[in-house]
């Protein structure tokens, strides 16, 4: 992205958005398998529509995770999100489980054997990004778009705002001046609500959440604050629109401020480089920016199915690097083994830590005591500074 004066917009969707319901269910199933067998292989997709969920995919793991267990996992995920309404209720929705065993052909190519290290679960390109626009080292538009929806979700779950529903979307447009975010020019917020609320009442409920999530003085003009623009949002979630796993990959990452390799994360165990290598790329890019070696860092990795080493490592800093980028690529390879096994071991990814990632972004989140969001750690900063005498 060129530096200068421009507007940039990012969107977020809540945990109750139909696609996010599916991401949550798929990741909850990944967690169920990993909690029983850390080396389990899981690739599960979810479809959700009016009072119905369909699970499909392939797995290799403990026989204790039966179709009945997967159905229960799906219902509990829907309950936790908060859906108990006409047209989509955790209590009586139908769950169809069409999950089968992983292909033996994939297993042969991916598994370690003899002198062969474990290979990537698929070919693909993955990107990681970090910038110094926010304390989380995330682009500001997606950071604020997530923050608003998380604030509303917390109020709903706590009972402070019981008349709001689980389904919501936000969109934040920022004015950049000299390449830095300066203020908000417009905000769009749509949230499911009780049918007793008017559009003006919804606006009064959500406005403080928006103001509190923005820097002081950054609230957009009232004429550019769009709340439920259609005027009514009572029917929501999978009853209002079909949901699928993996359809919100830009929401999941950097809000469009950086490229995306195209592979979704949710529903995949960490042997799949779509997920683990994207986490590794974010981890490395974030540590580069935190170490002061660049103001912005985009890192691309590429893999071939069955091959352990990355085929390429590429870094772009938009001219903000304080060090030679070719040497930086070499140093990062030395600091972290970027094979699928190396990534999983370095970030300790073979754990049931994924359901929590399914909404409000996989990046820019605080690390957690049980290892959740381990890719947000800054434990390479001192090594990077030392390598460049920074």
Whether residue 346 contacts residue 334, with contact meaning beta carbons closer than 8 Å, is answered with no
CA atoms within 13 A on the CB side of 19: 17
Containing 188, the helix (H) or strand (E) segment is strand 180-193
Q: Taking each helix axis as running N to C, give the angle between helix 67-81 and helix 18-36, from 0 to 180 degrees, rounded to the nearest 10.
A: 130
Which structure tokens are listed for 57? 């995919």
The C-alpha angle with vertex 62 and arms to 59 and 64, in degrees rounded to 5, equals 115
Whether residue 318 contacts residue 132, with contact meaning beta carbons closer than 8 Å, is answered with no
Phi, psi angle pair for 105, to nearest 5°: -65, -40
Q: Could you tell me which residues are annotated as the binding site for L-methionine?
A: 58, 102, 241, 272
How far is Cα 47 from Cα 289, in angstroms, rounded to an integer?
38
Q: Could you tell me which residues are annotated as the binding site?
A: 17, 19, 45, 58, 102, 167-169, 232-233, 241, 247-248, 264, 268, 272
Whether residue 348 contacts residue 374, with contact meaning beta carbons closer than 8 Å, is answered with yes
Which structure tokens are listed for 169? 């979307």
Q: Taking each helix axis as running N to C, give the angle between helix 340-347 and helix 273-290, from 0 to 180 degrees, rounded to the nearest 10.
A: 60
Q: Taking each helix axis as running N to C, give the angle between helix 325-335 and helix 273-290, from 0 to 180 degrees, rounded to the nearest 10.
A: 120
Whether residue 267 contacts residue 40, with contact meaning beta carbons closer than 8 Å, is answered with no
Q: Could you tell me which residues are annotated as the binding site for ATP?
A: 17, 167-169, 232-233, 241, 247-248, 264, 268
Nearest residue to 119 (alpha-carbon basis) of 310, 311, 340, 280: 340
User: Which of helix, strand or coil describes residue 309?
Assistant: coil
Nearest residue to 213 (alpha-carbon basis) of 249, 189, 178: 189
How far is Cα 269 from Cα 354, in angstroms, rounded to an integer?
9
Q: Could you tell me which residues are annotated as the binding site for Mg(2+)?
A: 19
Taking CA atoms, 19 is separated from 211, 238, 340, 377, in Å, by: 27, 8, 27, 28
């Amino acid at each position: 992205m060129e530096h200068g004066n421009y507007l940039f917009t990012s969107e977020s969707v809540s945990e109750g958005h139909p696609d996010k319901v599916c991401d949550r269910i798929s990741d909850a199933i990944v967690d169920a398998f990993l909690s029983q067998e850390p080396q389990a292989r899981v690739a599960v997709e979810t479809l959700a529509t009016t009072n119905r969920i369909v699970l499909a995919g392939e797995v290799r793991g403990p026989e204790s995770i039966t179709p009945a267990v997967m159905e229960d996992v799906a219902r509990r995920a829907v309950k936790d999100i908060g859906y108990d309404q006409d047209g989509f209720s955790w209590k009586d929705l139908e769950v169809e489980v069409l999950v089968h065993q992983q292909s033996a052909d994939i297993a042969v190519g991916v598994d370690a054997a003899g002198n062969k290290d474990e290979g990537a679960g698929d070919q693909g390109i993955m990107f990681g990004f970090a910038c110094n626009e926010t304390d989380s080292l995330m682009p500001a538009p997606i950071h604020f778009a997530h923050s608003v929806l998380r604030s509303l979700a917390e109020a709903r779950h706590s009972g402070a705002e019981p008349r709001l529903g689980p389904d919501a979307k936000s969109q934040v447009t920022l004015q950049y001046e000299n390449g830095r975010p300066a203020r908000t020019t417009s905000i769009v917020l749509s949230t499911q609500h009780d049918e007793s609320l008017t559009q003006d009442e919804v606006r009064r409920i959500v406005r403080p959440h928006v103001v509190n999530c923005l820097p002081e003085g950054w609230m957009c003009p009232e004429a550019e604050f769009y709340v439920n623009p259609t005027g009514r949002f009572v029917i929501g979630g999978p009853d209002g629109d079909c949901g699928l796993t993996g359809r919100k990959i830009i929401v999941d990452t950097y809000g469009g401020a950086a490229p995306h390799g195209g592979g979704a994360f949710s529903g995949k165990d960490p042997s799949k480089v779509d997920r683990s290598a994207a986490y590794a790329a974010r981890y490395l890019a974030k540590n580069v920016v935190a170490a002061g070696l660049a103001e912005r860092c985009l890192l691309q990795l590429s893999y071939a199915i069955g091959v352990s080493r990355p085929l390429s490592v590429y870094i772009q800093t938009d001219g903000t690097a304080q060090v030679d980028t070719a040497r930086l690529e070499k140093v990062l390879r030395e600091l972290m083994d970027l094979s699928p096994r190396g990534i999983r071991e370095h970030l300790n990814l073979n754990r049931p830590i994924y359901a929590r990632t399914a909404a409000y972004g996989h990046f820019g989140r605080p690390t957690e005591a049980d290892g959740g969001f381990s890719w947000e750690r800054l434990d390479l900063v001192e090594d990077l500074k030392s390598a460049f005498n920074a």
